[in-house]
């Protein structure tokens, strides 16, 4: 990298005025030493911003009173529906000023659960809340978002709309009962397709007309489908404030597992996300602000964590980025990607931080991933990733402007200030899959102290410019990009 670009990099990272002079140096060894020192100092400044985001998140707080669902008629019996009892407990809790709605040990069957302000749904140890895999139970339709597009659709299994100070906590299990016979077959063709294909129930029958409605600007209230084959997400706080999801295990989701939409002050902590169905993304904050995801396990059939902000025209209509997000101390196993941005990213993404995460699985396809195209568009900026250990992965770092439709639109994707440092990859098929457009190359990427060991190849670098590389190695050899 030229001295001019280094100076610009320091300015971008907020180090101007710190007394670092690149022009007074003579000799390559001194320049190299200062480059490393400057990059480390810049990294420290960046991560002060991450700590500030965490400190700014408004926490939840609940009255110290419990509403136990069995006292409202719930029964841990295979042939008993506890939906009405759970709803009654939530209503009573909210009316009393809030507190905990407690699910005791046992397996309780239920339909959709709708949270209210100041309610903490708490699952005790050995408690299982098992959701019926029967679509009609998730009607009437609610205001929801599906793959970045708003509609009136099936209620998420746990849903909250415009509520404040809500939580799902405890040591229990949320069982979605997605399977090769329930919910998941609506995906249609998928991998080896472990179910009988049925054209009548393929999600394309609803997905395609929904997306067409969004592009045509049809009001959300009119996006209603008599025959709906769009699987609901498991947990979706929509336009909520102060949300805590902590300690629980989520299994076999119909669709995305944790999906805060247009919400603020969200904490997802110590959650186990285990679901290997189609579109089993672990945690997908959409167009949300001030989000902390920490100490979680992701073992999923799709992206482990994917940050999103709306699809195409609908994302641009709302024009709300996903922003001020910190991901830390998480473990990623199987999945399409570990830490991902996109592909529904039309509203943009900014101020995203991920640190101290571990990823490894023969079934982990990508480590750090950005996926977008010129139909999505969106500005992705100020993304900082450090102290990531990847054991085994197919592609370590991916930025793909050709996802799905590719370069078929007028909305050029932009990536600015993507900074990756202290990334260690033990085994990979390819180090990179970086594919920009000839008319809009990938730029604004810095890679500092990145090691690729036991890596089959450098991979693909297509239409890439301005990579700031410091201390890169591939299979023990210095790497220059």
DSSP 187: G
- Taking alpha carbons only, the member of 450, 309, 358, 421 closest to residue 47 is 421
Active-site residue, 336 included = yes
> What are the backbone dihedrals phi and psi of residue 34, each rounded to the nearest 5 degrees, phi first?
-70, -35
List 9, 336, 419, 448, catalytic entry: 336
Give the separation between CA 79 and CA 130, rounded to whole angstroms: 12
What the block records as the tokens of 403 is: 């996802």
Nearest residue to 25 via CA among 35, 17, 16: 35
Whole-number Å distance between alpha carbons of 472 and 423: 10
Query: For residues 253 and 240, is the Cβ–Cβ distance under 8 A?
Result: no
Q: How many helices (H) and strands (E) does the chain have?
A: 5, 30
Instruction: Spot the catalytic one: 281, 302, 387, 395.
Output: 302
- Clarify whether 51 is annotated catalytic: no
414, 378 Cβ separation under 8 angstroms:
yes
Residue with tokens 């941005």: 341
Q: Is 177 left (phi over 0), alpha (psi -120 to 50) or beta?
A: left
Cα distance between residue 96 and residue 94, in whole Å: 5
- Which residues lie below 8 Å from residue 445, measured CB to CB, with a gap of 6+? 399, 415, 418, 420, 464, 466, 467, 468
Rounded distance, CA 469 to CA 452, Å?
Answer: 14
Output the CA angle 193-154-128, nearest 5 degrees. 75
State both tokens at 5: 């670009």
Catalytic residues: 302, 336
């Amino acid at each position: 990298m030229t001295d001019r670009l280094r100076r610009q990099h320091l300015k971008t990272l907020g180090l101007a005025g710190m007394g670092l002079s690149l022009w007074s140096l003579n000799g390559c060894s001194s320049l190299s030493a200062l480059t490393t020192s400057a990059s480390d100092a810049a990294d420290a400044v960046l991560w002060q911003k991450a700590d500030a985001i965490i400190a700014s998140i408004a926490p939840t707080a609940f009255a110290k009173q419990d509403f136990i669902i069995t006292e409202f008629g719930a029964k841990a019996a295979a042939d008993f529906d506890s939906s009405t009892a759970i709803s009654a407990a939530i209503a009573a809790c909210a009316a009393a000023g809030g507190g905990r709605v407690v699910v005791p040990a046992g397996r309780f069957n239920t339909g959709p659960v709708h949270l209210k302000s100041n309610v903490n749904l708490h699952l005790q140890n050995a408690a299982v809340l098992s959701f019926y895999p029967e679509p009609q139970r998730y009607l009437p339709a609610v205001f929801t978002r599906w793959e970045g597009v708003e509609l009136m659709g099936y209620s998420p299994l746990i849903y909250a709309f415009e509520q404040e100070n809500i939580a799902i906590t405890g040591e229990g299990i949320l069982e979605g009962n997605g399977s090769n016979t329930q919910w998941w077959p609506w995906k249609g063709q998928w991998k080896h397709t472990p179910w009988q294909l049925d054209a009548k129930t393929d999600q394309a029958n609803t997905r395609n007309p929904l997306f067409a409605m969004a592009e045509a600007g049809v009001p959300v209230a009119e996006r209603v489908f008599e025959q709906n084959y769009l699987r609901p997400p498991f947990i979706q706080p929509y336009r909520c404030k102060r949300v805590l999801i902590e300690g629980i295990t989520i299994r076999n989701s119909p669709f995305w597992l944790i999906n805060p939409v247009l919400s603020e002050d969200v904490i997802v902590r110590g959650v186990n996300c285990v679901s290997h169905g189609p579109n089993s993304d672990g945690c997908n904050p959409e167009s949300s602000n001030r989000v902390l995801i920490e100490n979680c396990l992701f073992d999923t059939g799709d992206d482990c964590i994917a940050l999103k902000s709306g699809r195409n025209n609908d994302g641009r209509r709302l024009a709300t980025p996903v922003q001020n997000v910190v991901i830390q101390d998480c473990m990623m196993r199987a999945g399409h990607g570990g830490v991902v941005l996109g592909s529904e990213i039309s509203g943009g993404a900014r101020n995203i931080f991920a640190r101290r995460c571990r990823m490894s699985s023969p079934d982990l396809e990508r480590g750090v991933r950005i996926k977008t195209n010129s139909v999505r568009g969106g500005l992705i900026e100020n993304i900082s990733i450090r102290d990531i250990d990847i054991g085994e992965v197919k592609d370590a770092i991916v930025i793909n402007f050709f996802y799905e439709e590719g370069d078929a639109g007028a909305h050029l994707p932009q990536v600015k200030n993507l900074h990756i440092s202290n990334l260690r990859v033990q085994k990979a098929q390819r180090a990179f899959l970086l594919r920009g457009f000839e008319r809009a190359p990938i730029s604004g990427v810095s890679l500092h102290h990145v090691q690729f060991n036991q890596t089959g190849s450098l991979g693909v670098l297509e239409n890439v410019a301005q990579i700031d590389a410091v201390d890169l190695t591939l299979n023990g050899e210095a790497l220059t990009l």
